[in-house]
Amino acid sequence: MSTPSRPSFKTRLQQLHGASLPFVARTFRGNRFRRYAAGSILLGVLSVLMGIWLSFGTGEFEQDIRRGLDLEESHWDRDRIEFQVTAHDPYHYEMLLEEQRRLTAHGNVDDYSQLGSERERAYSTLYTALSIAPPRGQQALAARATALLEAYPPSRVEPQWHYAQDTRDWQFDWYAPAERQRLEAIIDRELQPKVVLYTSPLSVMDSVRLTGAVAGGFVVLLMLIVAPLSTGATVAQEVHENTLQPVLGTRLRPVDIVTGLAASGLALGGLLALPSLGVMLVAGLVGGYLAHMLPLLLLLPAATLLTVLLTALVGFGLGKRWSSGIVATVLTGVLCMLMLFSVGLGMNLEDEMVGLIAMLPPVGVVHELRELFVPGDNLRFGDTQHALVVVCVSVVAYTALAFVIGRALTRRVAGRTQPSLTRVEGFIAAATTMALAFAVLPDFKNNHAVEVYFVSLGLACVPWMLVLSGRVPVGDGPSSLRTIPLRTIMLELAAYVAGHAIIVTAIFGLGHIPFAPMGAFHLVWALAVMGLLAVRMVAVPTNILGSLFALLCLGAIAFEMVSAGVFVAAAVPDAYYRHAPHPFVLFEASAVLGLIQLALTVAIPLLLVRTLRKGSAGLA
């Protein structure tokens, strides 16, 4: 028997082109290409203009943005240190200059003048500084301050200088450089505050970086919201209006159709993002912190591909019931919420949260974008290295997951009776999500093995349920004619769990997780029910009652996992809390609750197996 030869790279490229062309051409049909291209150029120009505006603009908004990005200190602080008053517009500036002239000519202005107040505060600083013994190295400065104070007795600084409101003016720290700098400025200017017209402190290079960050922001939004949204809504529309049926009757294979649909969304996002991407790359090369350029350029495509295929899968599932408009609205809400959440986290990623890069794709992208252009100071050097490692793990993991999701979607589009995932694909997905679960944990080597074991297992369980449900044969045929390979699926779950345990053992060594029989019982129960529930969700049709039962099962799984953790933690030799609870912990609350727990422990697996047996041709 001859085995078919693997297609060459050139053949694969031709297949990719053949698959993508109809869908991409459809997206850009008519004058859409010109419209989108014009829009993309507009966005590119806008990113440059916004970058320049945010860099050099003198308005409050621009200042707030710059201060939020730690590019500029507060002008109040600067005014205080440099003993000056900043005017934000020419009118205010002229007014202050007039005040300054009057102050110089007459010694004071009026009770409510800005410069007068500043001079009073300065006098307070001067007075307070001299009321504290200066350190040895600051004697000269203290002498100059004394001379100034003598030259300006309180009567010359009317009215009522002691009403100065800022409590800082009544405190002075000779050891604080900023305080000494203020004192020097006060002495140099002989209690006459300087008047300055506000200008942005950013340099041209800062402006280049900020422009790159703005352009990068556009690219991230377009690739992680617009491209997935377009793909998800298109797939939902195709499914809802049954327009995939004629396409399936053409020369295109299901994998070509999935490729084409994903390519159409990516092409739309890519075209819109192209000029902004150019601006981002140029700015990154000119002024960015290049160590973060490569991670960003690897992470962004991987996160985009994963998000696009994930939304395509969601669109395929939801499109069967809901119109594309509803699906698009749902996807928009979810993607925007995810992006807002990710921007909040990614812009201010702190030591303990570095692992979140692995859990939410946009977090890492936003973090790397910031690090490329306007690095924050939240992370220590070691955490920055940790973040880079998590980014690398995420790139590989997202790519692997995108591949697996693409394969699953292809099989669903084909509509044949078969599992969405092969065994190998299931293992790849399970191992990948396991790796991501470990990556989420912050600095896990310093944590206890029991914590790492249960937290990482808990994180991995949700994707594992999806993987297991992908191993159940589905299709356009009836579920009552399908045999469910339950034993195989449960064995695969056991393999995932065993693999996870081996990794934890490899990290911490043997003996770090004590054996607690009741803990093992609850854990095995929770994992077994999780596997049965995953199979049940897709193997047989469900109704409202079935959905409620599934929710009850999910709650029971979470409860039993926590129970297992409590039993195992109590068995740790040096545990702070070594009280082993009742085997069914709800008995500790009340006998009735304990009996309910006991009854559910028996009933839930039996009911799940019974449902699977009744709804299928049999269990194998």
Interface ranges with another protein (CB under 8 A): 18, 21-22, 25-26, 29-30, 241-243, 245-254, 414-417, 475-481, 617
Least Å from the CB of residue 299 to another protein: 33
User: Residue 156 gets which letter from DSSP?
Assistant: G
Task: Give the helix/strand (H/E) hosting 569.
Answer: helix 544-570
- Of 113 and 479, which CB lies nearer to another protein in the complex structure? 479
List the one residue out of 453, 461, 443 whose CA is nearest residue 514: 453
Q: Which amino acid is at 44?
A: G
In 449-539, beta strands by DSSP E: 473-474, 483-484
Least Å from the CB of residue 25 to another protein: 6
Longest Cα pair distance anywhere in the chain, in angstroms?
109
How many Cα atoms occupy the beta-carbon half-sphere of 245 within 13 Å? Answer: 4
Least Å from the CB of residue 419 to another protein: 15
- Of 19 and 357, which CB lies nearer to another protein in the complex structure? 19
List 91's β-bridge partners, or say none.
none
Q: Kindly write down the DSSP assignment for every residue of 49-82, as one continuous string.
A: HHHHHHHH--SHHHHHHHHHTTSS--HHHHHHHH
Least Å from the CB of residue 30 to another protein: 7
Least Å from the CB of residue 7 to another protein: 12
- Of 30 and 177, which CB lies nearer to another protein in the complex structure? 30
Least Å from the CB of residue 42 to another protein: 24
- Of 87 and 540, which CB lies nearer to another protein in the complex structure? 540
Task: Give the helix/strand (H/E) hosting 449.
Answer: helix 449-470
- Of 217 and 615, which CB lies nearer to another protein in the complex structure? 615
Q: Kindly write down the DSSP assignment for every residue of 4-60, as one continuous string.
A: PPPPPHHHHHHHHHHHHHHHHHHHTTTTHHHHHHHHHHHHHHHHHHHHHHHHH--SH
First CA to last CA distance, the chain: 31
- Of 258 and 568, which CB lies nearer to another protein in the complex structure? 258
Contacts of 601 (CB under 8 A, 6+ apart): 525, 560, 584
Least Å from the CB of residue 251 to another protein: 5
- Of 296 and 472, which CB lies nearer to another protein in the complex structure? 472
- Of 321 and 578, which CB lies nearer to another protein in the complex structure? 321
Contacts of 43 (CB under 8 A, 6+ apart): 218, 222, 272, 273, 275, 276
- Of 299 and 327, which CB lies nearer to another protein in the complex structure? 327
d(CA 185, CA 165): 20
Least Å from the CB of residue 57 to another protein: 42
- Of 334 and 414, which CB lies nearer to another protein in the complex structure? 414
- Of 325 and 478, which CB lies nearer to another protein in the complex structure? 478
Contact 103, 192 (CB under 8 A): yes
- Of 21 and 491, which CB lies nearer to another protein in the complex structure? 21
Contacts of 205 (CB under 8 A, 6+ apart): 286, 287
Least Å from the CB of residue 481 to another protein: 4
Least Å from the CB of residue 470 to another protein: 19
- Of 155 and 543, which CB lies nearer to another protein in the complex structure? 543
User: Residue 440 is encoded by which pair of tokens?
Assistant: 């989420």
Least Å from the CB of residue 250 to another protein: 4
Q: Which amino acid is at 352?
A: E
User: Residue 111 gets which letter from DSSP?
Assistant: T
Contact 395, 299 (CB under 8 A): yes
Q: How far is CA 483 from CA 189, 492, 494, 530, 540, in A?
A: 90, 17, 21, 20, 11
Q: Kindly write down the DSSP assignment for every residue of 309-328, as one continuous string.
A: HHHHHHHHHHHTTS-HHHHH
Contact 218, 108 (CB under 8 A): no
Least Å from the CB of residue 610 to another protein: 18
> Could you give phi then psi for residue 418, rounded to 5 degrees?
-170, 160
Q: Which amino acid is at 377?
A: D
List the one residue out of 83, 99, 81 whose CA is nearest residue 91: 99
Least Å from the CB of residue 235 to another protein: 14
